[in-house]
Structure 1
């Protein structure tokens, strides 16, 4: 993550980027459900493509400013890797959460709906919780792997991963606590009932921590005796 921008600019980038992400998620969900005439698969496809494409653009745009986390568990991963201070991380998480809620409100306004809503769409059960853990593990794996081997590919990789995870997970891959909280405030296609939020967020945190642990080991380079000898000879 670049250090050339002030903390204020980083926080604004995180809040604005997350707001635009939620406007895309909720707005495309409303549009997809409206145009699909009851066909849930078509509605989900529209929601998926818009979200994946939007992520590529938003990460490309805001990445140089704030790192484009847009996600508290991504920020948590940077803290666990000792690449971010707790104070800055707290600011990021607050900005992400506020931005996510404002993005939901913006989507409602664009489609002429009530700004304040509460979702009635229950998403409960162990299978959905496991899905969220898997989805979040995969998202962090994508980010950490790209950081290690191909940083410039991160926006595309994340967009592609979320596009696929919408379809291979039973939960449609929220994989983001701020997104989950904000979506509880939208009684639309992409909503989640407030009573389902805690389970999703807990599973997301578990998936993220596991990803940090696994990929810290997997991506570390082992120094061998031959490597040391070669370095000494040089």
Structure 2
């Protein structure tokens, strides 16, 4: 198995998060431009997001692990698969990459590069949705790594595609993406003032998934047969 130095892993995290956000924001702008039907616009936002996740995790996963998400990096730090300093640098790279992704999406559609969102996404239902979304995402990742590692890109892409539609919040499930989306006053935006509730719920859901999946995937100890 190949290993990569920290600078390359951080670059992969920034690039992956940036392309993910550019896809989320860009497809939202395109969908909103092409249709006034909110359901159709959401579908136009959902499918590209799920698709790009499959691509990014497949291509960049071997370099950095393809977290693209501070909640995922937190989980891997708690599992001791990522040391604290590296986890912090991963998060900084993800946030910076996500902001760059918003800027790139705006530039492609000739919009102001930074435009704080006014879209209200607040309330207990939204926060609970984000906790559920992050819980499911982390559970999917941990279960996939344990039982079907080659399928993880597809598992994550399909999960997020589904979660767009079964959560009231449309499944941000990612603090870095949420921060980046607060800087776009378009279809996928979120008011900056609503970020703390979203981020707190996402981190809580991720940690809950780690606790449950750690217990759930712990097999019985192997029996030792004693020979006479």
How big is the alpha-carbon RMSD for the aligned residues of Structure 1 and Structure 2?
1.0
Pair 1:191 & 2:189 matched = yes
**CA deviation digits over 1:2-28, x for unaligned, max 9?**
661011000000001100000000000
For residues 95-106 of structure 1, the aligned pairs below 5 Å read 95-106=93-104
CA distance in 1, matches of 2:118, 2:105: 18
Cα deviation, residue 228, structure 1: 2.0
Structure 1 unmatched ranges of 5 or more: none
For residues 182-221 of structure 1, the aligned pairs below 5 Å read 182-221=180-219
Residue of structure 2 aligned with 1:155, choices 153, 170, 175? 153
CA distance in 2, matches of 1:60, 1:211: 23
Helix, strand or coil at the partner of 2:224: helix
The aligned residue for residue 129 of structure 2 is 131
CA distance in 2, matches of 1:89, 1:167: 30
Helix, strand or coil at the partner of 1:228: coil
The aligned residue for residue 35 of structure 1 is 34
Structure 2 unmatched ranges of 5 or more: none
The normalised TM-score by structure 1 is 0.95
CA distance in 2, matches of 1:13, 1:151: 19
Cα deviation, residue 190, structure 1: 0.2
CA distance in 2, matches of 1:189, 1:102: 18
Residue of structure 2 aligned with 1:169, choices 167, 170, 173? 167
Q: Cα distance 1:201–1:3, how it changes in 2: closer, same or farther (>3 A)? A: farther
Runs (4+) of structure 1 exceeding 2 A deviation are: none
CA distance in 1, matches of 2:78, 2:219: 19
The normalised TM-score by structure 2 is 0.98
